[in-house]
Chains A and B, each alone.
Chain A
Amino acid sequence: MTLIAEIDYGTPAAQSTTDVTLTIDGVEVTVPAGTSIMRAAMQLGTRIPKLCATDSLNSFGSCRLCLVEIEGRPGTPASCTTPVAPGMSVRTQTPRLAQLRRGVMELYISDHPLDCLTCAANGDCELQDMAGAVGLRDVRYGYQGANHLDAVKDASNPYFTFDPAKCIVCSRCVRACEEVQGTFALTIDGRGFGSKVAAGMAEPFMESECVSCGACVQACPTATLIEKSVIELGQPEHSVVTTCAYCGVGCSFKAEMRGEEVVRMVPWKDGKANHGHSCVKGRFAWGYAMHKERILKPMLREKVTDPWREVSWEEAIGRVASEFKRIQTQYGRDAIGGITSSRCTNEETYLVQKLVRAGFGNNNVDTCARVCHSPTGYGLNATFGTSAGTQDFDSIEHTDVVMLVGANPTDAHPVFASRMKRRLREGAKLIVVDPRRIDLVRSPHVQAQHHLPLRPGTNVAVLNAMGHVIVTEGLVNEAFVRERCDLAAFNEWAAFVAEPRNSPAEVEKVAGVPAQTIIDAARLYATGGNAAIYYGLGVTEHSQGTTTVMAIANLAMATGNIGRAGVGVNPLRGQNNVQGSCDMGSFPHELPGYRHIGTDAVRASFEAAWGRPLDKEPGLRIPNMLDEAVGGRFKGLYVQGEDILQSDPDTHHVAAGLAAMECVVVQDLFLNETANYAHVFLPGSTFLERDGTFTNAERRIQRIRRVMSPRAGVADWEVTVAIARAMGLEMNYRDPSEIMDEIAQLTPSFAGVSYAKLDELGSVQWPCNATAPEGTPVMHIERFVRGSGQFMLTEYQPTDERSTRKFPLLLTTGRILSQYNVGAQTRRTANVLWHEEDVLEIHPADAGPRGVRSGDWVRLSSRAGETTVRARVTERVAPGVVYTTFHHPMTQANVVTTDFSDWATNCPEYKVTAVQVTPSNGPTEWQTQYEEQAQQSRRILADAAD
């Protein structure tokens, strides 16, 4: 294995379909019009010296190193800023050019430390390379003149350093921050010789607006911006392409290694989801893999009050099997179940549901998508016929109007947010439907045309009102509806939304959004060109989550914004493999490929392949499992990669359910909160230790590749196989590729997927089968999967969770950029520097009367429970609304959330909880007790078995 060397073409690819032929150094080359001479040369393999150019950034023309001569033109233009022309004849190497380039390099080097041998970038420094390329042998100016060599290094960021002494002021970092990331945190401060890169208002990086995406580090051609891990470990010697294990964007990375040690993660330019960009989590927050709290040996205990005892894998697996068998004998076949995770691979998830259905003999399998995007599956299946988003991420480049509903992509899906911001800077319009003033409402060079700050729980009302405007103002795309949709259903929907109670004026009373804003937003969505809806958990995590998804689909169909690039309905998935875990048959009612377990022919195909009869009835969902456990009928649970105690609603109820079980098996990286109630702990592997596939929010199936041995000695899929075998279900796979082969054999939408194809193409988007052998970037192009698009009646039903005199505020929860889900991974990295604790956002109008100031401890209470958290007084939230995150277990925001849920899927109503906020002097009694219990629960006996 070697380092993967990506070709830097110097400038971005031109998009023209017109070709231009020219000659470079006597060789003819044909490229798209608009291509730079530098890029055209590189296509021939001719590397024109450069410093300020790189192909992720627009050309800048400042370093004067890439000069060329063009026949018939005066001077020596910069090849990065000069486009090709028909018949052009270019020379890249002449004595005059060599002299000019050497002169430029002399100037650079005269103000650069000569410490190459001890520099962390030694071997990976473009300045060093260029000095070699131009044949620099001496610096006529000497090194004693005015210089920047004493400039002070900024090491404030936990992941990289900024050493201005090594800066050549090429502006690549500044441009990366602007063009790639879209944060505009960096600038060039000063003029002339005094020019220098500055973060924010010339602050340390950590105090600036920098979001630590690392684009600047990647763009830097010297050691000015460099990873601390490279400084510590040295240059990597090989790299492996893999997929990030954080959010649903699914960024491709090169894991750059020294042996089995990760030196750095570098976003892969050919990654089709991220095109070479990353966020702070994916690029930097992988250190949890080596964290001292990783559990690396299986453990058992008789009672959850006992300390853990390390045991062999054989003993642990034997205990799982014997206990599950005992429970089924004693309490019945349905008394056990399993939970799969969106943090696990498709192959691992597939095996867990297979274990449950074929090994346990029931369908009591569910997944964490239950608490996030299960309404997406139901709603899009009902309207379009398939449980997935309609577009690829590249579609955004053709979008004229972005409508963002209940999503905060700059925090939760930052790499896609950067692409979205780029499109917005290019002129696309933005509608934000969200109770909070998220960053995209107004951030540098981005301003939403319309922000609809609706009251939590009124999504359906607002979307119906937009439908009202579209129908009553004659904005329906009638040709599309007539040709592509069920006309009777459309007519019924049109009549419904046209009713006066769905008018913007009426909805204003319910949702608190001015009628004119709704009208303006609807007009823009319907008439602004290609309009695309992107939505998140602010849509799904409501009692009407599924109805909201349907209402979104209705709008897209009514306006014809389906079935081509630039439009569509796009759920932004929270975790890396939410899509995949759902695809793989994790829900209790359906087999892989979203086919109902009650369908005889489908069930028969799995029975034939697995050699076991399958129950035709749906099994228990997670909340049903917990209810049944409290009722004494559900006694055993295998949880792979999930932390339901922290992530699921109504913590007291989850705890009661877990406590009532007789065998809880947790397979995870750390002793998470759920493990406090576990009897068996099976150590899991990080994404760095696994082979498999993830499927991202755009249905893109991508490989993750093992870059180090599983630290616990066993891959996660092998653990599931061992449990299955111990329970009498034979599973035979030599490696995960064979699991994927079985998935492809049994799942029509995956029929064409194999590891060989993924290795060849990089990734594919399902459906991938005989009809679409290389996958399907955009769905429903000529017809909907279900045939005709189905409009659904989406009556607004207010949630039963209402603010009252006792609980007068509405709590909504979410996540922030630096943390991920329950924080099990990110809390064990330096990302905690940005988010040491969960914070409650409260509007000044609510904080003032309560005597609450920023930084104060406050008690957050609901009818479900109470916790304490620090307050931040801010106008980001509307009066009457408070907001917090759920990343820290000692906050346990879900102590406060209730058991109300979506009518169709039981997805919890995280986004609406009636609460009260009062000043507090310290933690609640529950928090104190929980901390003590958690500490007791994590005891491990010193005398470990082998």
Chain B
Amino acid sequence: MSHDDKLVRMANDIGRFFAAQGEARAVEGIATHLRKFWTPRMRAEIIAHVEHGGAGLDDLPRRAVARLAAASAAAAAA
């Protein structure tokens, strides 16, 4: 299993837990989890994975990663 595949699986696992909380809270919950527990490199890799199509990533984590990417871009621009 490739490194990206592992990150995708981990993100999907996280997403499945938060899914029960409803869409809005789930996306925020997943994004917060990734921010609090993943290293910057892991976050950058999953962002890059989404930018390349995000194969295998479920919808909720995909949107959470997109939110991370937007926050990251905003921070870089600030």
**Given A627-B3, A627-B6, A906-B10, A618 and B17 contact (CB-CB distance below 8 Å):** no
User: B56 an interface residue at 8 Å Cβ cutoff?
Assistant: no
Tell me whether A793 and B16 are in contact (CB under 8 A).
no
Q: How far is the CA of A619 from the CA of B16 in the complex (A)?
A: 24
Tell me whether B3 and A631 are in contact (CB under 8 A).
yes
Q: How far is the CA of A795 from the CA of B3 in the complex (A)?
A: 27
Partner pick for A903 among B1, B14, B21, CB 8 A cutoff:
B14
Convert A600-632 into 0s and 1s, putting 1 for each residue whose CB lies closer than 8 angstroms to a CB of B.
000000000000000001111000100100010
- Stretch from B37-45, B46-54, B67-75 contacting the other chain: B37-45
Q: How far is the CA of A171 from the CA of B16 in the complex (A)?
A: 59
Tell me whether A598 and B36 are in contact (CB under 8 A).
yes
**Could you tell me which residues of chain B, from 25 to 44, have a CB within 8 Å of some CB in chain A?**
33, 35-42
Residue of B nearest to A796 (CB): B20
User: B19 an interface residue at 8 Å Cβ cutoff?
Assistant: yes
List of A residues within 8 angstroms of B35 by Cβ: 598
User: A547 an interface residue at 8 Å Cβ cutoff?
Assistant: yes
List of A residues within 8 angstroms of B37 by Cβ: 589, 618, 904
**Given A589-B36, A903-B13, A795 and B19 contact (CB-CB distance below 8 Å):** yes
List of A residues within 8 angstroms of B33 by Cβ: 904
User: A861 an interface residue at 8 Å Cβ cutoff?
Assistant: no
Which of A633, A795, A899, A906 has the most chain B CB within a 10 Å cutoff?
A: A795
Least CB distance, A387 to chain B, in whole angstroms: 14
Partner pick for A617 among B14, B16, B40, CB 8 A cutoff:
B40
Tell me whether A793 and B21 are in contact (CB under 8 A).
yes
Tell me whether B36 and A618 are in contact (CB under 8 A).
yes
Q: How far is the CA of A686 from the CA of B1 in the complex (A)?
A: 39
Q: How far is the CA of A633 from the CA of B1 in the complex (A)?
A: 17
Least CB distance, B38 to chain A, in whole angstroms: 7
User: A496 an interface residue at 8 Å Cβ cutoff?
Assistant: yes
Partner pick for A596 among B13, B20, B36, B38, CB 8 A cutoff:
B36
Which of A334, A544, A618, A903 has the most chain B CB within a 10 Å cutoff?
A: A903
List of B residues within 8 angstroms of A345 by Cβ: none
Residue of B nearest to A794 (CB): B20
List of A residues within 8 angstroms of B21 by Cβ: 793
Least CB distance, A267 to chain B, in whole angstroms: 40
Least CB distance, B16 to chain A, in whole angstroms: 5
List of B residues within 8 angstroms of A793 by Cβ: 20-21
List of B residues within 8 angstroms of A239 by Cβ: none
**Given A334-B41, A618-B39, A619-B39, A797 and B6 contact (CB-CB distance below 8 Å):** no
User: A776 an interface residue at 8 Å Cβ cutoff?
Assistant: no
Q: How far is the CA of A546 from the CA of B20 in the complex (A)?
A: 15
Q: How far is the CA of A794 from the CA of B17 in the complex (A)?
A: 7
User: A543 an interface residue at 8 Å Cβ cutoff?
Assistant: yes
Residue of A nearest to B41 (CB): A334
**Given A496-B20, A795-B20, A624 and B40 contact (CB-CB distance below 8 Å):** no
Q: How many residues of B contact A (CB 8 A)?
A: 20
List of B residues within 8 angstroms of A496 by Cβ: 20
Residue of A nearest to B43 (CB): A617
**Could you tell me which residues of chain A, from 608 to 666, have a CB within 8 Å of some CB in chain B?**
617-620, 624, 627, 631, 633
List of A residues within 8 angstroms of B40 by Cβ: 617
Tell me whether B17 and A797 are in contact (CB under 8 A).
yes
Which of B16, B20, B35 has the most chain A CB within a 10 Å cutoff?
A: B20
Q: How far is the CA of A619 from the CA of B42 in the complex (A)?
A: 10
Q: How far is the CA of A899 from the CA of B2 in the complex (A)?
A: 13
List of B residues within 8 angstroms of A631 by Cβ: 3
Q: How far is the CA of A618 from the CA of B36 in the complex (A)?
A: 7
Partner pick for A904 among B3, B17, B20, B42, CB 8 A cutoff:
B17
List of B residues within 8 angstroms of A588 by Cβ: 39
Partner pick for A797 among B3, B10, B16, B36, CB 8 A cutoff:
B16
Residue of A nearest to B21 (CB): A793
Tell me whether B38 and A795 are in contact (CB under 8 A).
no
Convert A526-558 into 0s and 1s, putting 1 for each residue whose CB lies closer than 8 angstroms to a CB of B.
000000000000000001101100000000000
Q: How far is the CA of A279 from the CA of B32 in the complex (A)?
A: 44
Least CB distance, B37 to chain A, in whole angstroms: 5
Which of B13, B14, B35, B39 has the most chain A CB within a 10 Å cutoff?
A: B39
Q: How far is the CA of A670 from the CA of B17 in the complex (A)?
A: 41
List of B residues within 8 angstroms of A899 by Cβ: 1, 6
Least CB distance, A366 to chain B, in whole angstroms: 12
Q: How far is the CA of A588 from the CA of B38 in the complex (A)?
A: 9
List of A residues within 8 angstroms of B13 by Cβ: 543, 901, 903
List of A residues within 8 angstroms of B1 by Cβ: 899
Convert A866-903 into 0s and 1s, putting 1 for each residue whose CB lies closer than 8 angstroms to a CB of B.
00000000000000000000000000000000010101
Q: How far is the CA of A618 from the CA of B13 in the complex (A)?
A: 19
Least CB distance, A365 to chain B, in whole angstroms: 12
Residue of B nearest to A590 (CB): B36
Tell me whether A620 and B39 are in contact (CB under 8 A).
yes
Convert A331-356 into 0s and 1s, putting 1 for each residue whose CB lies closer than 8 angstroms to a CB of B.
00010000000000000000000000
Residue of B nearest to A378 (CB): B37
Tell me whether B16 and A903 are in contact (CB under 8 A).
yes
List of B residues within 8 angstroms of A547 by Cβ: 17
**Given A598-B36, A618-B36, A624-B39, A903 and B17 contact (CB-CB distance below 8 Å):** yes
Residue of B nearest to A363 (CB): B39
List of A residues within 8 angstroms of B41 by Cβ: 334, 633
Q: How far is the CA of A624 from the CA of B42 in the complex (A)?
A: 9
Least CB distance, B6 to chain A, in whole angstroms: 6
Q: How far is the CA of A597 from the CA of B42 in the complex (A)?
A: 17
List of B residues within 8 angstroms of A543 by Cβ: 13
List of B residues within 8 angstroms of A901 by Cβ: 10, 13
**Could you tell me which residues of chain A, from 442 to 465, have a CB within 8 Å of some CB in chain B?**
none
**Could you tell me which residues of chain A, from 147 to 181, have a CB within 8 Å of some CB in chain B?**
none
Least CB distance, A900 to chain B, in whole angstroms: 9
Q: How far is the CA of A901 from the CA of B6 in the complex (A)?
A: 11
Least CB distance, A208 to chain B, in whole angstroms: 47
List of A residues within 8 angstroms of B42 by Cβ: 624
List of A residues within 8 angstroms of B16 by Cβ: 795, 797, 903
Q: How far is the CA of A797 from the CA of B12 in the complex (A)?
A: 12
Convert A203-221 into 0s and 1s, putting 1 for each residue whose CB lies closer than 8 angstroms to a CB of B.
0000000000000000000
Q: How far is the CA of A904 from the CA of B3 in the complex (A)?
A: 18
List of B residues within 8 angstroms of A904 by Cβ: 14, 17, 33, 37
Residue of B nearest to A621 (CB): B37
**Could you tell me which residues of chain A, from 779 to 799, have a CB within 8 Å of some CB in chain B?**
793-795, 797
Least CB distance, B21 to chain A, in whole angstroms: 6
Q: How far is the CA of A617 from the CA of B35 in the complex (A)?
A: 8
Q: How far is the CA of A618 from the CA of B40 in the complex (A)?
A: 8
Q: How far is the CA of A596 from the CA of B37 in the complex (A)?
A: 10
Q: How far is the CA of A34 from the CA of B19 in the complex (A)?
A: 58
Q: How far is the CA of A674 from the CA of B55 in the complex (A)?
A: 36
Residue of A nearest to B13 (CB): A903
Least CB distance, B18 to chain A, in whole angstroms: 9
Q: How far is the CA of A903 from the CA of B6 in the complex (A)?
A: 12
Residue of B nearest to A633 (CB): B41
Which of A547, A589, A624, A627 has the most chain B CB within a 10 Å cutoff?
A: A624
Least CB distance, B53 to chain A, in whole angstroms: 21
Least CB distance, A393 to chain B, in whole angstroms: 32
Q: How far is the CA of A906 from the CA of B39 in the complex (A)?
A: 14
Residue of B nearest to A617 (CB): B40
Least CB distance, B58 to chain A, in whole angstroms: 12
List of B residues within 8 angstroms of A627 by Cβ: 3, 6
List of A residues within 8 angstroms of B20 by Cβ: 496, 793-795
Residue of B nearest to A547 (CB): B17
Q: How far is the CA of A633 from the CA of B37 in the complex (A)?
A: 19
Additional pairs, 19, CB under 8 Å, beyond known A618-B37, A618-B38, A901-B13: A334-B39, A543-B13, A589-B36, A589-B37, A598-B35, A617-B40, A619-B39, A624-B39, A624-B42, A627-B3, A633-B41, A795-B19, A901-B10, A903-B10, A903-B13, A903-B16, A904-B14, A904-B17, A904-B33
User: Which 3 pairs between the two chains have the least Cβ-Cβ distance?
Assistant: A903-B13, A795-B20, A793-B20
Interface pairs (6), CB distance under 8 Å: A598-B36, A620-B39, A795-B16, A795-B17, A904-B17, A906-B10
